[in-house]
Structure 1
Amino acid sequence: MVAGEASGDLLAGLLLGGLRQRWPDLQAVGIGGPQMALQGFDAWWPSDKLAVRGYVEVLRHYREIVGIRRQLRDRLLQGERPAAFIGVDAPDFNLGLEADLKAAGVRTAHFVCPSIWAWRPERIEKIRASADHVLCIFPFEPALLAEHGIAATYVGHPLANVIPLEPDRAAARRALGLDEGDTVLAILPGSRASEVQYLARRFFDAAALLRRDRPGLRFVVPAMPALRERIDAIAREAGMADALQIVNGQSHTVLAACDLTLIASGTATLEAALFKRPMVIAYNMNWLSWQIMRRQRLQPWVGLPNILCQDFVVPELLQEQAEAPALAQAVRDWLDAPSRMQAVHARFTDLHHSLRRDTARLATDAIETLLEG
């Protein structure tokens, strides 16, 4: 198995739980993170080696990443071959590896259909050449893949089962030392170093503006432990070190506790939607990477909640729009419209129901069928 970042590690950890129930003596090896390690995964490389986003950023790490993929491929093919290879997200890394393994006779599955419905539709041919089976987390994807002769199964989104339909806000606030009457803004600047580089200062500057006219507003920042030092430094640079409650990890506790969130586009936005939280989605990246990605978009939305709802349910401020004054105003717009916040809660509850399935069992069933050939 290969999972390339924090969200992939979480998905892979959930899947491994189901696989181990079916096959208690399972040996799982490859590239992974702490959630996979809890399931007995043997990580030959840590998943954060692959946690790079954006064309320019990838180029800076290209030699190392390609070297890891080559070493992993050779190790899998020259030693005892695995019964199956499961690539968890990270399509730019995994699909090429899967194609080599599939050509050598190893059964391959890809968990999380690449978002060909949002951008880079040309990847459909690469998926067909790489994956014997695709495990889809969104209900419309299997039919789309079937049109191109790719076997796929809708397994639901694992997070829809992990996150309760009605999160316990009071318990989460107690865990974080927050009062029930506090108004809480969760700030999530991303799980990658490049995201923190481009977004954290913008988010903290927006928080500083909000602090001036809403002095009672509380700010909580769940930080990836590996990025904590950098986030602390940016908070000091923004003059907000004393106003931000920065905690190690605990993103789910923070999302359960908050009233709304200022959040980087990515898997975390879907987590926020499953917690039924209003949000302001933002993203900023290297200019050249943005120009390339912008031309490959197929839909007007970038945030997963908006894509799944096929509507601008929550605001998106991208690239040059993601400036502190605009971010702060978008947060104020939510706080000044309680009825709008209630409406989005109902919309996200419907979304949650549509994504709830017994993911571990359905995915394990599909993998067992693949192994039986």
Structure 2
Amino acid sequence: MTDCIGLVAGEPSGDLIAAQVLTGMKEARPQLVASGIGGPALQASGMQIWHPMDMLSVFGYVDALKNLPRIYAIFKDVQRRWLANPPEVFVGVDAPDFNLRLEHNLKKRGIPTVHFVSPSIWAWRYERIHRIRQAVSHMLVLFPFELEIYEREGIPATYVGHPLADKIALEPDRQATREALGIDPDATVIAILPGSRRSEIELMTPKFLAAAERLQQRAPGLIFVVPMVNQARKAQFEQMAANFKLANLQVIETSSSEQWPASWRAMAACNMALVTSGTATLECALFKRPMVISYVLSPWMRRIMAWKSGQSKPNLPWVGLPNVLSQSFVVPELLQDEATPENLANALWGLWEDAGRRHEIEQQFVRLHQTLRCDTATRASQAILQVMERGP
């Protein structure tokens, strides 16, 4: 065995947390060398980048099929290298379709494998647990309830908390963020987050902005803040927004000059939010903002998901992460046919009129934040080092 680790991080969030984990591991073992697939954060941490993580980035099933030959070639290349020179441990960060296959093949050859971020088997395709058992020596999970699943299935696992809970302050500064955005400190602000992908913005924006119009009719002084991940998505949104009459609509874009992404600034500034289901719902909860969660899939995408998963709906009654983690409908969810502009507006208005309920939601989110805030990078690096010390 060489004194090195193999590592694959397939997206920006994984690159950032993996870089923190690698830094922690190097403090314990300064001679450690990491190589594999990653992004700028891992490269800055000293990792040898064989392939940039952008080469694994695909959006949707069609894009995945188009890029399959390229991804397969990368897969064969990194597998060949690690089988020829086995690392002390392989760490796969998220990207389950790529990493679990790689982990399975490496583990068969005696290389310990750690997978960081459990696939959502609790919602879709629980039977993947058998594939995980074959591929993973140790699982690092982000949520407490996931640990129970892996312990029940006899798969070694460690709860490490969620890295976002370490980054977001327990008491976000609403007034400072409003001042930076030029928003009246006493205004009522609603953040609208239709998503970061073109397809999400196309499906969710008309519903969200039609709901905003209805809310504006009830309270003309409302301010709506909409974050966009880049200039292309901002242009797409603004073209659609031109069809709606909203007097106080502010669109902000993620910029390299800003410490926070646009979505975090919108969450910090707002009183409430209308959010497309996904990681943004967890971020919104960590900012302690009451929200209404929504999601709409096109008929074509619904058919593909049902075909791939063998399910027409998730195994749980909740979709939004704040509700999943709380095991109750802490905040409203309006999905598919229920996601009408009228229903969305009514749900948000109901939250605004019920100050007691908003306070309960905020307190629940405080408890959630405290549970998830565990110094994830340190816990993860310690767990990986323990796997290395145990060996195959």
- TM-score over 0.5 (shorter chain): yes
* Residue equivalent to 1:184: 189
Shift of the 338–109 alpha-carbon distance from structure 1 to 2, 3 Å rule, reads same
Say whether residues 1:107 and 2:78 are aligned partners: no
Per the alignment, in what secondary structure is the counterpart of residue 61 of structure 1? helix
Per the alignment, in what secondary structure is the counterpart of residue 154 of structure 2? coil
Shift of the 247–347 alpha-carbon distance from structure 1 to 2, 3 Å rule, reads same
* Residue equivalent to 1:342: 359
* Residue equivalent to 1:154: 159
Q: For residues 313-372 of structure 1, what are the alpha-carbon distances to aligned partners after superposition, in whole Å with 9 as ceiling and x for unaligned?
A: 111111222232322222222222222111101111111122121211111111011112
Equivalent of residue 71 in structure 2, options 68, 72, 82: 68
Shift of the 94–237 alpha-carbon distance from structure 1 to 2, 3 Å rule, reads same
Per the alignment, in what secondary structure is the counterpart of residue 44 of structure 1? strand
Deviation at 1:202, TM superposition (A): 2.6
Per the alignment, in what secondary structure is the counterpart of residue 144 of structure 2? coil
Contact 2:92 2:114 in 1 (8 A): yes
Contact 2:58 2:67 in 1 (8 A): no
* Residue equivalent to 1:256: 268
Deviation at 1:269, TM superposition (A): 0.9
Contact 1:120 1:296 in 2 (8 A): no
Task: Give matches, 1:171-250, under 5 Å.
Answer: 171-225=176-230, 228-239=231-242, 243-248=249-254, 249-250=261-262
Say whether residues 1:45 and 2:62 are aligned partners: no
Structure-1 separation of matches of 2:101 and 2:70: 13
Contact 1:30 1:43 in 2 (8 A): yes
Letter aligned with residue 19 of structure 1: M
Q: Percent identity?
A: 45
Deviation at 1:24, TM superposition (A): 4.8
* Residue equivalent to 1:267: 279
Contact 1:89 1:114 in 2 (8 A): yes
Deviation at 1:308, TM superposition (A): 0.8
Shift of the 230–355 alpha-carbon distance from structure 1 to 2, 3 Å rule, reads closer
Contact 1:110 1:135 in 2 (8 A): yes
* Residue equivalent to 2:146: 141
Deviation at 1:111, TM superposition (A): 0.8
Number of equivalences: 367
Say whether residues 1:284 and 2:296 are aligned partners: yes
Shift of the 237–189 alpha-carbon distance from structure 1 to 2, 3 Å rule, reads closer
Contact 2:166 2:373 in 1 (8 A): yes
Structure-1 separation of matches of 2:387 and 2:52: 26
Say whether residues 1:357 and 2:357 are aligned partners: no
Q: For residues 238-267 of structure 1, what are the alpha-carbon distances to aligned partners after superposition, in whole Å with 9 as ceiling and x for unaligned?
A: 325972322223322221221111111111
| Unpaired runs of at least 5, structure 2 | 1-6, 255-260
Shift of the 10–252 alpha-carbon distance from structure 1 to 2, 3 Å rule, reads farther
Letter aligned with residue 236 of structure 2: A
Shift of the 124–153 alpha-carbon distance from structure 1 to 2, 3 Å rule, reads same
Shift of the 286–9 alpha-carbon distance from structure 1 to 2, 3 Å rule, reads farther
Per the alignment, in what secondary structure is the counterpart of residue 114 of structure 1? coil
Contact 1:5 1:51 in 2 (8 A): no
* Residue equivalent to 2:319: 302
Deviation at 1:38, TM superposition (A): 5.4
Structure-1 separation of matches of 2:338 and 2:44: 40
Shift of the 246–43 alpha-carbon distance from structure 1 to 2, 3 Å rule, reads farther
Contact 1:200 1:231 in 2 (8 A): no
Deviation at 1:137, TM superposition (A): 1.1
Structure-2 separation of matches of 1:76 and 1:274: 38
Larger Rg: 2
* Residue equivalent to 2:257: none
Contact 1:186 1:258 in 2 (8 A): yes
Shift of the 28–258 alpha-carbon distance from structure 1 to 2, 3 Å rule, reads farther
Structure-2 separation of matches of 1:38 and 1:217: 43
Deviation at 1:14, TM superposition (A): 4.0
Structure-2 separation of matches of 1:48 and 1:316: 35
Deviation at 1:6, TM superposition (A): 4.6
Shift of the 193–94 alpha-carbon distance from structure 1 to 2, 3 Å rule, reads farther
Letter aligned with residue 95 of structure 2: A
* Residue equivalent to 1:312: 329
Structure-2 separation of matches of 1:154 and 1:217: 41
Structure-1 separation of matches of 2:110 and 2:337: 47
Letter aligned with residue 202 of structure 1: K
TM-score calculated relative to the size of structure 1: 0.88
Letter aligned with residue 361 of structure 2: V
Task: Give matches, 1:88-127, under 5 Å.
Answer: 88-127=93-132
Shift of the 32–321 alpha-carbon distance from structure 1 to 2, 3 Å rule, reads farther
Contact 2:79 2:102 in 1 (8 A): no
Per the alignment, in what secondary structure is the counterpart of residue 330 of structure 2? coil
